[in-house]
Every structure is written in C-alpha cells, then in structure tokens.
Amino acid sequence: MLPSSWSTVLSNDAPEAAEAIRHARILAQAADLVTRNRMHEDPEQTVYAVRDRYMADRVRELLDDPSAKVALWAHNGHIAKSRYGSGPPPLGQHLHKRLGDAYYALGLLFGQGAFRAGRIWPGPRLRRPKENSIGMAGPATAGAQLAAATAGNHLVDLRSGADASATVRQWLHSTSTMRSFGAQVPHWTYHLHRSPTVLAQEYDGFAYIATSTCSRPLPPTEA
C-alpha cells in the first residue's frame, strides 16, 4: 500500500503528484478488495470489514482540509455508529470513533412504496436492478412506530431524546427492528427482511419518508 505521508509531503510542493498518489492509493485498495474473501477466521479481514475501513479512509482524507464539510449518502448499515446486526464495524463506527459528535448518523426509513434493487435467489441474478414494491411494515418495526407518531414525511433528532418521556427513552435504548434493503434482495421474500438495532446507539436521527419512489437509472451512454 502507498503510505499516506507521501501525499502530505508532496501536497504543497507538487500538488499534481500528490493527487496522482491519492488516485493510485484508491486503485490499490480496490485491487485489494477484489482479492478478499467473504469469510475469514479473522472477521476484520473479510471483504465487508475492509471495505468499510477503506470508505472511512476516503472520508477522513477529505476532512484533512480543515474547511471541508462532508455529506455522505450510504445504506443505513454503513452509516450506523456501532455494529449493524452481527456484521463487522461499519463506516460510521470508524468515523464516529475519530470525529465524535461531529459525526451525525442520519438514518433513512420509509413507510411504503418502492425501491430499486437487483434480485437474487432463487433463480438467476438480475444484471440490472428493477423496481420492488412494498407495503407498510408491521407495527413492531421502527419505521411503523415513527409513522404512528407522525404519518407524513418528517425528521427525528434522537440526540434530543434525553428530554423525551421515560417511555420514549426506553424505546430508543431497547432493541428494535428495521426493514433493511441493499443493492440486491431475494425474490419474493425481501419484504420480510429485518435487522435488529438500538436506535439511540446506532443513529443520531432519522428521516422518515411516507411513500418511497424508485430511483431512475441513467440513460445508456454512447460508446
């Protein structure tokens, strides 16, 4: 791997060389990821754990500029401040460890509608993501409970939970479930996907969207 100190040394005297080294480091990390396995006797060496470490490295590199402010869009599992379910330390945990309260993990939940994702098992994996429709989640999920409190689109700041009632504080610090959809979902059973979460521990706030609509693929470009 290329040492990060090289970019620091060259940044003032040779900014173009520093930029080239930065891109080379990203390529080296991408090459490393394609050689990693999904399973390893040391969970920190799996492709999933290393992927999130590298993503955090890229954000930290941007923040080397003291004037920089970064808004990062990622799956809820990546931005969580602690382990998401039984997975490896996510991007958000690495950033929270370095930045403390300067890192604000804003989760995204929706009530019903549709989302775009590829479908896997059973059957062949689809090369292009497609629209997946879904209704309201069961009443025990975090999204449904937010909807019960406020049906429309809204934001919830969990950092202000200290001023909430005892019932709300207990809910924020107890294990809840959230629907979880990534880039790929299984045929037919994706609507059953749930992930355990402790809301106040993993997130600082939530944006709730009552009805989700699909992203629109970019048109193919001409060669």
* CATH number of the domain within which 186 lies: 3.40.1660.10
Average pLDDT score over residue span 5-12: 51
- In this structure, is residue 136 part of a structural domain? yes
Residue 151 domain flag: yes
- Rounded to two decimals, what is the model's pTM? 0.83
Determine the pLDDT at residue 206. Answer: 95
In a domain, 22, yes or no: no
Contact by Cβ (8 Å): 33, 27 = no
Establish if 202 belongs to a structural domain: yes
161 in Cβ contact with 103 (< 8 Å):
no
What's the length of the chain? 223
In the block, tokens 């062949």 appear at 124
- Owning domain of residue 190: 106-212
* Structural domains in the chain (count): 1
For residue 60, is it within any domain? Answer: no
pLDDT at position 31 over 60 = yes
Assigned domain for 79 exists = no
Classify residue 171: in a domain, yes or no. Answer: yes
Does residue 45 belong to any structural domain of this protein? no
Confidence of residue 137 (pLDDT cuts 50, 70, 90): confident
- Summarised one tens digit per residue, pLDDT across range 12-24 is 567 788 888 889 9
Peptide bond preceding 122: is omega within 30 degrees of 0, i.e. cis? yes
208-219 average pLDDT score? 90
pLDDT band at 219 (very low <50, low <70, confident <90, very high): confident
